[in-house]
Amino acid sequence: MKLLPRVLLILGGVALVGAIGVLSYGGFETWKQYIALSANRSMAFMNPVGYMIGGAALALLGGLLGGYALALPRNPKQPPAVTPSPTQTSNPTELR
């Protein structure tokens, strides 16, 4: 059971790094729009809202995966082995 939390933690970390990249790109597009508007220039821009929503969704996914990985138990308890009681016999046809 130690493999699942590690895999989830790695996937959560990758999702968070991806979210940082997507949000940085959306912020850069927004900054370019601000610079162009403050200089009274007209340029063609793409809408960064989709990148911001996608980055926020990736950050949420990364946080959920990371939190779930950290919440999983490290050493799960194994149920005790069932041993036959002394009153049980190995021969079921034997009558008492």
- Span 46-59, pLDDT tens digits: 788 888 899 999 99
Q: Is the dihedral of CA 22, 24, 29, 34 positive or negative?
A: positive
- The identity of residue 27, as a single letter, is G
Q: Please state whether the predicted TM-score (pTM) of the whole model is above 0.85.
A: no
User: What's residue 15's pLDDT?
Assistant: 92
**pLDDT confidence bin for 75, thresholds 50/70/90:** confident
Give pLDDT tens digits for 5-56.
888 889 999 999 999 999 999 989 888 888 887 777 776 777 888 888 999 9
